[in-house]
Each structure stands twice: as C-alpha cells, then as structure tokens.
Structure 1
Amino acid sequence: MRIKIGISMFVLLIGLLAACGNGTENGNEQETDELKMLEVEFQVPDKANISETIELKAIVTYGDERVTDADEVEFEYWEKGNEEDSTKIKSNNNGDGTYSADVTFDTEGIYEMYAHTTARDLHTMPKKSITIGEGTSDDQE
C-alpha cells in the first residue's frame, strides 16, 4: 500500500511540475513581447558638397513593426567640436515608418548629428556624422 501511495505522490508531483512549466513558457512569451526595442536606422551620406541639399532619414521600428506614429523625430546637427551651437529641425512623417528632412550646409567641415526619436514611451538618439567639402573649415586649419 505504501508503494502505491508513494507512486501516486510521485505522479502527482510530476504533473504539478509540468503544469508549472507550461505557465512559465506562457510567461516567457509575454516577456519576449514586452522586450521589443525601439530602433532607428539613421541614414546620412558620408560626404556632401557645400550647398548641396541632403536628406536626413530615420527608419523607425518597434520590434518587427514600422512605427508610423512616432511622438517625435527631430534632427539636431552641429559642426564638430561646437555642439553648444546646434540646429534642430523637425522631420516630415512619410507615413511608412520613415521620417526625413532636407538640410544644406554652407561651410566645409565635419558635422555631427542626432536623430532624436520618441515613440512607444521610449527615446533613442542615434548619432552620425557627415563631411562637407574637404572636411576642414577656416577655424579648423
């Protein structure tokens, strides 16, 4: 009789552990869904000429989904070493998860820029740089 009770308890314990395991898997699926990241592919040419209009473009995704309704996508740029004298411009929402703005640089130099992006209660700001002309200005020489 004791062996039957022992076996029954063992089978019951295995059943409870299996049930707990199934609950954990469902919990992991929910956690995976919640761990989506806000990603921004910031596209900027490496070089451009003085007075050439270039497009700054941000492709915004959340997980595998393109974000067509970001709260903010704003570009900020400045000449390298002079970040306190930056310029900010709002982007155009192209309706397909891409945000863009045209900009023209009037002087040679290396310019750095952020794509300030806020969506899904998250903020990210990838940074890029571009060389205009030869990449040197009168101040840098």
Structure 2
Amino acid sequence: MNKKVLLVIASMLMLILTACGDKDNQVDEAPEIIDVQLHVNETADVNEKLVLKATVTQGDEKVKDADEVIFEVWEDGNKDDSEMIVATNNDDGSYEAEKAFEHDGVYIVQVHVTARNMHSMPKTTVVVGDATLEDHHNAEDEEEEHDHSGH
C-alpha cells in the first residue's frame, strides 16, 4: 500500500513540475511601443487657422482607437496658461485639431496620446507672426544643459 501511495504522489509531483516547466518556457513578448508623429507647421500668421495633426502607429499598424489625444498649446515661457484642445479621430490613425494664435510669439504644441496602455507626449515649436526663434526660451531646454554627472 505504501508503494502505491508513493507512486501516486511521485506521479502528481512530476505532473506539477512538468506543468510549471512548460510555463517557464513560455516568454510573453512585450508589445511594441506606440509611435506618435506630430505634424504642425513651423510658422503661422497671426489669426491663421493652423492644423494640428498627430499620426499614431504601433509597429506597422495604424492606431485608430487611441483612448485620448489632446493637443496642449502655450506661449513659450507661459506653460501655466496652456490651452488643452481635444483632437478629432480621423479613423485612419491620425487625429486633428485647429488652433489660431491671436498675437506674435513663439508657441509650444505638445500632443498627449494615450493608446493601448501607453502614453506619448511629443512636442514642437511654432513661430507666429513677426516673432523669431531667438525669442524662444524654454526652461526645460536649459535644465537639459545642466551637468548631471554628480547625480
């Protein structure tokens, strides 16, 4: 009787170990990250309607089902007064909104995309009217220039 019990226990242990071993051999591949291309003219006239466009892909696939696409726009150096503009889904992997700038200046356009449990936030600069890029002052750029070798 003891031999039968030992044989059953040994068989069960082998089954359990075999099942665990198969599970360890399976490797879950991480999904490809989303890629967001921001398409915005680099210059604009005052009060000109500028198209803000973002194209979202994941690998070779166009992401037509992003959870959220919002364009954030602010005048350079004044991010606290940014404007959030919800994009329209074009159902082809692209998302659009429009913005007209009321006066000369350098503006930052940043798109916030949430899709497939990932988030991406590329940004670009738009020079409006008689402003120049020399007027551009971005605190984030200055911070990147600091030496962080001691950290």
Alignment partner for residue 57 of structure 2, among 61, 84, 92?
Answer: 61
* Local SS of the residue matching 2:77: coil
Distance in 2 separating the partners of 1:106 and 1:35 = 42
Work out whether 1:116 is the aligned partner of 2:112: yes
* Local SS of the residue matching 1:128: strand
Distance in 1 separating the partners of 2:123 and 2:116 = 20
**Counterpart for residue 19 of structure 2:** none
**Counterpart for residue 130 of structure 1:** 126
Q: What do the CA deviations read for 1:52-75 (whole angstroms, capped 9, x no partner)?
A: 111000000112110001000000
Distance in 2 separating the partners of 1:72 and 1:122 = 11
Give the aligned residue type for 1:119.
A
**Counterpart for residue 73 of structure 2:** 77
Question: How many residues are treated as equivalent by the alignment?
Answer: 110
Distance in 2 separating the partners of 1:97 and 1:35 = 18
Work out whether 1:98 is the aligned partner of 2:86: no
Q: What do the CA deviations read for 1:101-138 (whole angstroms, capped 9, x no partner)?
A: 011001000000210000000011001110001116xx
Distance in 1 separating the partners of 2:67 and 2:129 = 34
Tell me how large the CA RMSD over aligned residues is.
Answer: 1.8
| Deviating 4+ runs (over 4 angstroms) | none
Give the aligned residue type for 1:92.
T
